[in-house]
Structure 1
């Protein structure tokens, strides 16, 4: 039987066809998001030329700069030109620096992905361990204590937990720097020290949801009848949970992990600005204050693209883990 087909009821679809449909839906969503980004920026109050020249600029100077920047063109023409350039790998030029955006954008993206990577390699295993322990001791004081911790972590907004960590580890204990500035030639040890606080903030932001969903998936799977049969055969609860329940719960667990990693790419915008981390989020916020329209558009579209791509990955994981999702209805 082919791996790429889901046997079952009439109307089943090839798995590759379903993945292709998800991919087309993702591309359509990205196109819609690009329109919304462009329209939203056009609705912002003020004018980019006025922001660059200052409030004392003459109308003639503002009109000349608008013409130089191409802002005197119709909105539809500017949108098509921007989208065509992005599709060709040309992200345009910054209004303020008058330099190509692509090199800075890729450098900032690398920093953001680095921060997300360091966060994920700590948060994902920790969430699995907490979820496993909570499911193993379901209903006990250990489960309640872990639930209290994870729910408290979920309830804290990133900016609050970030400033709280700065107060504890930077101002009170002097253990870690509050400013997370990094450079390409920085040693790995110094880089890890610089990103420690933003990583801790992001870990708190995603840990609770991942661990709670892991616990829920394991508890649901261990309520099956075959678990009682395994207990009557003399297998220990830990062995049943690890060897038999966990493999059956991997699908929803991996799905929620991928979705949280997608959300992580959105959460970095706030965290990077709290810790002055030179990533994509800080680059976009700085550009908003300067009304640097091309940079804002490129950053927002890139973050949206990563978010949609990770959601597509979560859909594919769900299709692979649950064959019933491949059946037509």
Structure 2
């Protein structure tokens, strides 16, 4: 078990490093840089060259990357090329705002998806299953930006119940953000839950048809005991990976939803940083996104092993 965790952690570190290198390279291939974005198209070549020197952009790309990497390994992620503030502080403020949205989405979305998937699987081919499966298929088919736009049209314009955009800035408190977090959270929950519902439904149906569940029924076990002791633990195993992938997807999905609602989180900051070529901010957000992705997958594997001892023995035997 310890060896397995060590291998996965090592692979995770390599994954984060590769993601950082790829993003750094992609930004270098884009036309222009932070100096040209700050000064505008009418800037003289001398002014651009002077600002590039002040920002350190006149150094070779590989030297700038290893300089950033050396600082990052010591917890120093540099200074924003645009705001000249600490990148860690700037991203930290946006991360707090995104965490509020993400926690609501994960807690409500995953709980709702597991319950609905379980109900659909236990009542397959009946009207609750048909209704839940139809909603899940719609959620799987419609992109998050379409869901967000429809929610704005329905509940901000047609029925002006929720604000269409968030007017609070990056320094807003949680209390100031709560009234505006409903529609972004609903948009993310709708898409996040769809895949988990479908996977949970399929797993419940497969487990319900297995021999050990039929044996438990013949022994006269109560429905609650059969569901929570026999069906749910086994059905959760294949669903965990889907949950992990969808939580990791949330990092990308939140970028789109935050931009639509002008939510002052990581997604909005990422778009602004790409537009201004603010490379230190982009790199830190990339590191955070990659870490979330690998941690979600690692936790899914560990929970699967904990729920199914056969996986533990089979992997340790390799």
What is the TM-score with the length of structure 1 in the denominator? 0.90
Residue 243 (str. 1) matches residue 229 (str. 2): yes
Asked whether the 8 Å contact 2:15–2:290 carries over to 1, the reply is no
Partner of 2:178: 192
- Give the length in aligned residue pairs: 314
**What's 2:34 paired with?**
48
Aligned to 2:73: 87
What are the equivalent positions in structure 2 for 1:284-323 lying under 5 Å apart? 284-322=270-308, 323=310
Note the 1:59-78 alignment, pairs <5 A.
Answer: 59-78=45-64
Contact 2:241 2:297 in 1 (8 A): no
Q: What is the DSSP-based 3-state SS (H/G/I as helix, E as strand, rest coil) of the residue aligned with 2:181?
A: helix
Counterpart of 1:326? 315
1:236 Cα shift? 5.1
Residues 255 and 317 of structure 1 are in contact (CA less than 8 Å); yes or no, is this contact kept in structure 2? Answer: no
Shift of 1:130: 0.5
Structure 2: gaps spanning 5 or more residues: none
SS at match of 2:79: coil
Q: Cα offset for 1:213?
A: 1.1
After superposing the two structures, state which structure 1 stretch, 110-119 or 284-293, moved more: 284-293
Residue in structure 2 matching 1:150, options 122, 136, 152: 136
Please report the RMSD computed on the Cα atoms of aligned residues, expressed in angstroms. Answer: 1.9
Cα distance in 1 between the residues matched to 2:55 and 2:17? 24
Matched with 2:248 is 262
Q: How does 1:100-249 map to 2 (within 5 A)?
A: 100-182=86-168, 186=173, 188=175, 191-235=177-221, 237=223, 239-249=225-235
- TM-score (norm. length: structure 2): 0.92
Change (3 A) 1:75 1:187: closer
User: Deviation at 1:166?
Assistant: 0.4
Structure 1 unaligned regions, length at least 5: 1-14
Are the counterparts in 1 of residues 91 and 266 from structure 2 also a CA contact under 8 Å?
Answer: yes
1-side partners of 2:274 and 2:174: how far apart? 32
Q: Distance in 2 between matches of 1:77 and 1:187?
A: 40
Q: Shift of residue 185 of structure 1?
A: 6.3
User: Secondary structure of the residue that 1:282 maps to in structure 2?
Assistant: helix
CA shift, 1:118, in A, is: 0.8
Question: d(CA) in 1 for partners of 2:174 and 2:44?
Answer: 49
Structure 1 window deviating more from structure 2 (238-247 vs 66-75): it is 238-247
